[in-house]
Amino acid sequence: MSKNNFLLIFAFFLISFSSIAQERTSSIEEMRRNAISFNFLGSTPLLGITYDRIVSEKVSIEIGAGIPSVGAGFKYYPWNIKESKVLFHVGLSTSFIFTEPYDVWGTSDKTGVFMGYHPIGISYFGKNGFNLGIDLGPSVASKVIPYGNLKLGYRF
């Protein structure tokens, strides 16, 4: 076997093994894309349960119901969603808060009030399904107030 043939075969095997060994760690295809979470504040003011789904490598959407509201929103992850990393996110959510009998906002409307929330925070998606989110940001209902969210859940 000549030296050139040996180098050609060696290069072929080296390229083959290196391409097989690469993992798709940045892809969300292998991730658990759905989650059920318990929320304190967030899109379900006071307490609630949310369902969220990862829809792309940078975006997740959520819907929720709780005491005393229903809500929906999305989060944007500028540096892609990955497992086992603390990730920065920004987002936008809206809730309809049933004010009767929870009129903590002092509105004159007895049925409810819409609230917008701009979360800025961090999320963690664990390999075994653990889900954590913490954020803070401005909220607008009848006035602008600081607001936050704590989310603990399970991804499936």
Each residue's pLDDT tens digit, 62-77: 999 998 889 999 999 9
Output the CA torsion sign for 19, 23, 27, 30: positive
- Predicted local confidence at residue 153, as pLDDT: 96
Contacts of 84 (CB under 8 A, 6+ apart): 124, 125, 126, 127
- Predicted local confidence at residue 14, as pLDDT: 47
Residue 154 pLDDT greater than 50, yes or no: yes
User: Average pLDDT of 5-18?
Assistant: 49
User: Average pLDDT of 54-64?
Assistant: 95
Structure confidence at residue 42 as a pLDDT band (50, 70, 90) = confident
Mean pLDDT computed over every residue of the chain:
82
Contacts of 11 (CB under 8 A, 6+ apart): none
Closest Cα to residue 90, out of 122, 45, 49?
122
pLDDT in tens, 76-125: 999 999 999 999 999 999 998 887 655 555 555 567 888 899 999 999 99
What does CATH list as the number for 33-155?
2.40.160.20
- Predicted local confidence at residue 107, as pLDDT: 54
Instruction: Please state the domain extents for the chain.
Output: 33-155
